Structure formats: structure tokens, C-alpha cells
Chain A
Amino acid sequence: MMVCSENKDVFSAVVRSNKKIGQRFYRLGLEFSGDCAEPFGKARPGQFAELDLCGTALPRGEAIPEDLCDMAERNILLRRPFSFCDVTVKGDKTVVDILYDVVGPATLRMTTLSAGDSISIIGPLGNGFAMPSGKETALLVAGGMGAGPLLHLAKVLTADYPNIKVVAFAGAKTATTLPFEKRLDEVSEVLGFPLAEFAGYGIESLVATDDGSAGYKGFVTDCLLEWLGRCGLAAKDMIIYSCGPEKMLAKVAEIAQEKNIDCQISMERMMACGIGICQSCAVECKVAGSNETVYKLCCKDGPVFNSNEIVFSN
């Protein structure tokens, strides 16, 4: 049943495109029509949606990467949460793009979605990134697939906050695992090369790879630290937005705390429902003025949190 409202709900979307953009990365375009376009048209960067992929077929045997053959045999039951890398309102239609990495039985199925297919989606869910009021510079720090919601944020920031300078940092293990479609390889810089997706919004970007196959050799957090060391900007005028693996987020949070920079991070958890019912997606958070901690819900209280709130597990 398709329900139309201004809020989160169970919706039906039509696949517009599903393009392979790298080794294991895809970009899925979903279209929402009529009155149902409005809720997703208002989706904020950092929010997410739950996709039902149970009815989606697996790829043909030979199209399944060898390391995923074993887990491909597993059936899936639960929806899967994804954030958005782009939201575009065109007349009475909204197109939502999702960047995804093929890692298991659900994302393997996702690769077989093709234009015209219909898919059940619950969203938009959760709290997105808070806008940078009173700031002069916004730093977007992405690790691997964490680039998704930060691309969406880049678009919104440049459109709504033209006076704020935005700098993007994108990290990956190696050049081929950067989840971007186009790279402006010809424009070389001291550190890395700009990514076309960010350049399209007029944003400077820095790339870091663990093996140095593209841009800075090392972790994206080290790249960030070096940049902060030479930028000459006051901490109070900056804000960091970050999304990526939890170990990276812990490091970003540590840097933000040391430098006294406001920082928001988008967390990831296994979720059964995504709508605050199952209590699965617990994120341990500090309680102000106390040594106690509480579990907040990634789906409902997050997925975006202030970095100083989170108790990172090692």
C-alpha cells in the first residue's frame, strides 16, 4: 500500500537508473511521483531510508564476486538502511540517489534493479546534519562509502549557505575503492586531486588513500590534521561533518575535541526496523555532567550525532 503524506511512511519508488561507478560501487536513482514526491523532496542530508530488497533477484552466478558467493546463498528478511547522496526535485517528481557498495546478500540483489522496477521504501528517517549557523568553513570528512550523505550535504550547503567555504576530504584504502564516478585526474594538486562530484558544487576536495595510489598517502584523518595545521583558521569558525567507518569517526571526534572544533558525525548500526521500535541500533552516548552513559537509537536519535556525545568502542 502506498501512503502519501508529508512525513515518513511506506512509499513506492520507481528505479530510474542503477549504474556501476567503480569496482563494487553503484549509484541507484529512485523516482517518487505525485504527492509522494514531497516527503523525499524535503529529505535533509544525513537522513536515510529503509529499502525492501527481499523480492529482488540475485545476479547470475558468474556476476557474483567470488568472495561473496558463500553469503549470496543466504536469504534476506529485513529492510536495509541507506542514506542519500543526492535529492533533486523536478516539477512534481523527486529523484533520490543512493550510493552503495556491494558487500552482502542485500546489496548483491540491489545490483539487479533496473529502470522501471518498483521498490518499497520507508523514509525519510532519522535526523540529518544540523546546518552550520555562525560558521565560516565547513569541512566534510568522508571515509569510503561515507561520501554518500556528505555529497548530499555539499549540495545543500553550497546552495543555501553560499558564504560558507566548504572543503571535502575523501579517504579510501586505494584509488579503485574511492566511491566516485569521475575524477579530475588532470588537475593535480599538492595533496590529492579534486573529485568531480564535489568540484561540480564548486568545492575544493582532497583525496587520501592508505597506499598512496591517489592523493595523500595515509589516512584521511591525517590529511585533515595536516590541513588544519596549515589553514590558519580559527576553530570556532569551523565545523566538521563526517561519515565513514567507526574507527575513522573516532579519530575525527578526537581531532575535533583536541582542536575544539564543532563536529557532527553520522553513525551506522545494524537495524531491524529503522523507525524506533526494535531498539536494535543502540549507540552508547555520554550523559552531560555525569559518568553515566545511555544507549540512544541510531535510527531515531541519529544517525547524526554531535561527536562529543559518542562513546566509541575500540
Chain B
Amino acid sequence: MKDNVDISVDFAGVKLANPVFTASGTSGYADELADFVDINLLGGFITKSITLKPRKGNAPPRIVETDAGMLNAIGLANIGLDKFIKEKLPILERMTTAVFVNVAGETIDEYVAVVERLATERVIAGFELNISCPNVAKGGISFGTEPGQVSEITSAVKKAVGEKILIVKLTPTVTDISVIANAAVEAGADALSMVNTFTAMVIDIETRKPVLANRTGGLSGPAIKPIAAYLVNKVYNEVAKKNRIPILGGGGIRTASDAIEFIIAGASAVAVGTANFIEPDCTTKIIEGIKKYCVRKETNIKELIGSLGK
């Protein structure tokens, strides 16, 4: 019975076998992680960020470990749209899981150009708009911290996605995330993804310099989980629920109970990030754990979403 328990979810019209995604940038283009986990068991897969042109990325050191977390400043290193279409899309076409492409750029036109090229690809269920990367000089987080900019980029990309769904990924490094979420929803976002990493710094006390070559990086991992869960609940209550917009929630999820916390907080689906680096097959354990919870509590995902008590 446990095996056939239904934990499927409807995510902005896309039917997912379960609510568990791998987060962008923590599962490559699928081929790398496929050595360790059956990608098709996931509810959804999100590629690492794709930009119009290839990006070299930041100088090393690009990561540093912190207590219960890590900082990264990769700088959106990626193979670029052309190579993605030629080399990675054929791999993704063999997937039965819902595939989302994370899109980044320095200008709105770049975002639109990437989405236009990919909007007719059958395998792609939708796009995740990265307006929250803290580690690039141009674009990235600068699009995601001001409501007017969020609105402008969201509506421009929405026109290019065609039938596909548009998820807007939010940065938590703002005064009021609900204002940003509202701007994205009003401009046509079909779903919200939250949260991206928190801008942070680690200092080497011997050299009195930041450890990362980029000086700052994005904090991820278990350290951010309670903050992320709070922000998901806030946006669910203030924006998502009344607009019937699903949230892809995440931040430091390692276990099934972590994932369930986010669903109770208001997420329709969850994204697992840093934990993939430590246990590449952790998502399958999380999926099984959610099923067991649903059986034990005689509940289902739909009933769980946003069920946080007073």
C-alpha cells in the first residue's frame, strides 16, 4: 500500500508524479546526477542556469563551507544556449520527469532570446526565471530586488514562453519578499520559486580578506531552512494563496520532514539543493519519506499544502 500511495501534485497545470525537484545548479544538466539517481523518479528537474552565450564563471575559490551550510559564488558558469540545445537537450528529451530550464542573463533581451529559442521544445515543461543570483556583476539579483524591474522582466519573458509555464525564482535578500512576489504574479508568473541563496561572506582572519574570490557568495544548506520556511509561509499567506499561484519551496532541505515542513508552510512542491552534493540520491529517500508520512497521517499532498495551524 505504501508503494502506491498517491503523492502526485498539480503544479500550475503540470501534473507531477511527486512534489520533489532538484534545485537549479545542484543537479547539473541531468547527465552528471544520473550516475547516482534515477532522474525519472523526481517530480521535476531544473537545469542549471542557461545564458544566451557561454559563461566562464568566477575565479576560484568559488565555495567555502560554513557551519551547517556553504557559500557559493560560481558566477553562472554554463555552456550557453547553443551547446545546451546541441548536447544537453537530447539527454533531457529521454526524461519522463517534468523538465524546467533555468534561464539567466544580463539584459531582459537575453532572457527573452533564450526562452524564445526553447519555448517550442516538447520536452520542456516550463522555465524558471533566475532574477536572484547574487554572484554576477550584471543581471542576476539586480532584476529581483526592485518591484518595477521584476514586473518588467516577468511580463517580457511571459510573452515568450508560449504554452509553457513560467516560474519566477525570488531572492530572500530583500526587505519584503511579498512585494517582489506580488510584482511577479501581477506580471504573469505562473508559479514562484523560493528561496535563492542569501548573500553572505566568510572572512579569512589570517589574510583579512574574504575567502571567496568574488568576496561574497550565496549561503545555502540547513542553516537557511528555518528562514526559508518562514518566507514561504509569508508569501503563501500574503500573495500565493489568494492568487492560486503555486510555490516551489526550498532552502536547506535534506530530509523528508524538512520537505514536509515547506509543504505545510505553503509550498506545492519542494526543491532540494545543497543536499544533492552530500547524498546524490537523497531525493529518492525524501520521496519515500513523504509517502510514508502521508500514509501514517492518512493525508495527501493537496490537503497538506498550506495547512499550517495557528
Cα separation A54 to B70 with both chains bound (whole Å) = 14
Interface residue A210 (Cβ < 8 Å from any Cβ of B): no
C-alpha gap A42/B53 in the complex (Å): 39
User: What's the least CB distance linking A2 to chain B, in Å?
Assistant: 11
| Interface residue SS majority, chain A | loop
Q: How many Å from the CB of A157 to the closest CB on chain B? A: 29
Interface string of B48-78 (1 = CB under 8 A from A): 1000000011111111111111101010010
Q: What is the bound-complex CA distance between A280 and B65, given in angstroms?
A: 11
Question: CA A43 – CA B60 in complex, angstroms?
Answer: 28
Interface string of A186-210 (1 = CB under 8 A from B): 0000000000000000000000000
B263-281 residues with Cβ-Cβ distance < 8 A to A are 274, 276-281
B72, A77: Cβ atoms closer than 8 Å: no
CB contact under 8 A between A277 and B60, given known A1-B281, A77-B65: no
Whether the pair A282, B57 counts as a contact (CB closer than 8 A) is yes
Are A76 and B65 in contact, with the CB atoms below 8 A? yes
Specify which of A77, A122, A276, A294 is in contact with B56 (CB 8 Å cutoff): A294
Binary contact readout A266-288 vs B (1 if CB under 8 angstroms, 0 otherwise): 00011111011111111110000
Asked if B74 and A279 sit within 8 Å, CB to CB, the answer is yes
Q: How many Å from the CB of B286 to the closest CB on chain A? A: 13
Which residue of B has the minimal Cβ distance to A73? B67
Extra A-B contacts (18), CB below 8 Å, given A9-B35, A279-B57, A280-B62: A1-B281, A54-B278, A77-B222, A78-B278, A79-B277, A269-B60, A270-B60, A270-B61, A275-B36, A277-B27, A277-B33, A277-B276, A279-B74, A280-B72, A282-B59, A282-B62, A283-B60, A294-B56
Contact with B along A165-187 (1 / 0, CB 8 A): 00000000000000000000000
**Contact of A276 with B64 in the complex, beta carbons under 8 Å:** no
A281 touches B280 (CB 8 A): no
Chain B residues lying within 8 Å of A278, measured Cβ to Cβ, are 25-26, 63, 72, 74, 277
B77 touches A282 (CB 8 A): yes
Could you list some 22 contacts between A and B, CB below 8 A?
Answer: A75-B68, A77-B67, A77-B70, A120-B279, A270-B61, A270-B63, A270-B64, A270-B65, A271-B63, A273-B277, A276-B28, A276-B32, A277-B276, A278-B74, A279-B25, A279-B48, A280-B72, A280-B74, A281-B62, A282-B60, A295-B77, A300-B32
Complex Cα spacing A74 to B69, Å: 11
Q: Which 7 residue pairs across A and B have the least CB separation, nearest first?
A: A273-B277, A280-B63, A272-B277, A276-B32, A282-B60, A277-B28, A279-B74
Please, which residues of chain A bring their CB within 8 A of the CB of B276? Answer: 273, 277
Q: How many A-B residue pairs have CB under 8 A?
A: 104
Determine chain B's interface SS by DSSP, over half rule. loop
A23 at the A/B interface (Cβ < 8 Å)? no
- Interface presence of B250 (CB below 8 A): no
Contact with B along A254-276 (1 / 0, CB 8 A): 00000000000000011111011
| Residues on the B chain within 8 Å of A76, using CB | 65
Q: Which residues of A contact B35 (CB under 8 A)?
A: 7-9, 275
B32 A275 Cβ-Cβ under 8 A:
yes
Q: Please, which residues of chain B bring their CB within 8 A of the CB of A279?
A: 25, 48, 57, 62, 74, 77
B221 within 8 A of A: yes
